[in-house]
């Protein structure tokens, strides 16, 4: 690893127009062997608590919820057993949601779902299931949930085609970007996502990629001050002419961009 000139604290961005970026953004840069161009990407910390990534995750999540074309909404409450903290109830009940789905699938047929967890004002969790399924009997559903968790209050309703269920659930995600006992706010069944014709996105075969501990625009202005840059998105740039590279690139072994 060669010597690297120290990056100045302030580097004036040249493009694209100013947008909100993750305060913890880093840059990944590598050459695409399919097209030959050099690509630079700005990463996200992807944390719910981030002032930029939290709201962005909510928007993407709501879009995915709506794209699954749900026809029912199920609300599962959780009891508050004496001596058990909210985090303990979460650990005990979250594993019972898949068990409930298996019972439903065995009884009524195919079901796909997205689980959104909300914290009640008491501090204890309960679940909203956005569902794509045949008819489910409410009394039977309550019986199964009570058997699994000893909580029997269950609500199920049909989603009206004009009802924007994603917007309905977004209020829970927006007002509770952080939860003290988990970062897993939402999960999806394997068959939730419906394949659409326009789902195909370009893929890149990046080789010799490196990660830099600086924001994307600062990275480009510092290492490629004379290069021609094509911006595909505010977090994705293509370096179409190499220009003059200042110093050598250094590597960072941390490649964790965060999870849902």
Report phi then psi at 60, rounded to 5.
-65, -40
| Alpha-carbon gap, residue 206 to 236, rounded angstroms | 13
Lowest mean pLDDT among 135-139, 146-150, 163-167, 206-210: 163-167
Domain residue spans in the chain?
Answer: 25-65+208-251, 69-192
Task: Say if residue 188's pLDDT is above 70.
Answer: yes
Query: Mean pLDDT score of the chain, rounded to an integer?
Result: 80
Give 175's contacts (C-beta < 8 A, 6+ positions apart): none
The pLDDT assigned to 51 comes to 87
What does the block give as tokens for 47? 């944390």
Looking at residue 176, what is its pLDDT?
Answer: 60
Whether residue 136 is predicted with pLDDT greater than 90 in this model: the reply is yes
Q: Are 225 and 244 in contact (CB under 8 A)?
A: yes
The better pLDDT of the pair 206, 5 is held by 206
Query: What's this model's pTM, rounded to 2 decimal places?
Result: 0.70
The pLDDT of residue 177: 62
Residue 117 scores a pLDDT above 60: yes
Cα(186)–Cα(36) distance, integer angstroms: 38
Q: Are 23 and 44 in contact (CB under 8 A)?
A: no
Euclidean distance between CA atoms 131 and 113, whole angstroms: 4
pLDDT tops 80 at residue 160: no
Give the pLDDT score at 9: 39
Report which of 173, 84, 169 is spatially closest to residue 123, judged by C-alpha positions. Answer: 84
Tokens representing residue 32 in the block: 């695409």
The whole-angstrom separation of Cα 243 and Cα 223 is 9
Model pLDDT, residue 16: 56
The predicted model gives 158-173 an average pLDDT of 71
Copy the structure tokens of residue 141: 């559903």
156: pLDDT strictly greater than 60: yes
d(CA 110, CA 131): 11
The pLDDT value recorded for residue 250 is 32
Q: Each residue of 199-243: pLDDT tens digit?
A: 566 777 887 888 999 999 999 999 998 888 888 888 999 987 654
pLDDT category of residue 198 using cuts at 50, 70 and 90: low
Q: Does domain 69-192 have CATH number 3.40.630.30?
A: no
pLDDT in the model for residue 25: 94
Q: Does residue 10 have a pLDDT over 70?
A: no
**Proportion of the chain above pLDDT 90, given as a percent:** 36
């Amino acid at each position: 690893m060669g010597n690297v000139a120290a990056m100045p604290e302030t580097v004036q961005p040249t493009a694209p127009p100013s947008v909100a970026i993750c305060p913890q953004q880093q840059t990944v840069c590598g050459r695409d062997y399919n097209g030959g161009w050099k690509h630079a990407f700005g990463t996200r910390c992807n944390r719910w608590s981030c002032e930029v990534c939290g709201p962005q995750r909510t928007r993407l999540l709501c879009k995915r919820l709506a794209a699954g074309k749900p026809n029912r909404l199920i609300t599962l409450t959780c009891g508050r057993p004496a001596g058990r903290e909210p985090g303990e109830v979460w650990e005990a009940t979250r594993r019972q949601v898949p068990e409930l789905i298996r019972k439903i699938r065995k009884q009524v047929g195919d079901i796909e779902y997205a689980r959104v967890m909300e914290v009640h004002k008491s501090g204890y969790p309960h679940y909203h299931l956005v569902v794509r399924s045949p008819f489910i009997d409410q009394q039977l559903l309550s019986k199964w949930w009570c058997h699994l968790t000893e909580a029997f209050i269950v609500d199920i309703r049909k989603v009206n085609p004009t009802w924007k269920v994603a917007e309905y659930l977004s209020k829970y995600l927006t007002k509770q970007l952080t939860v003290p006992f988990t970062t897993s706010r939402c999960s999806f069944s394997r068959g939730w996502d419906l394949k659409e014709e326009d789902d195909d996105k370009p893929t890149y075969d990046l080789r010799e990629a490196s990660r830099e501990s600086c924001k994307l625009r600062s990275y480009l202005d510092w290492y490629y001050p004379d290069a021609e840059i094509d911006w595909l998105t505010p977090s994705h740039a293509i370096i179409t002419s190499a220009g003059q590279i200042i110093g050598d690139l250094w590597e960072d072994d941390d490649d964790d961009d965060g999870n849902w």
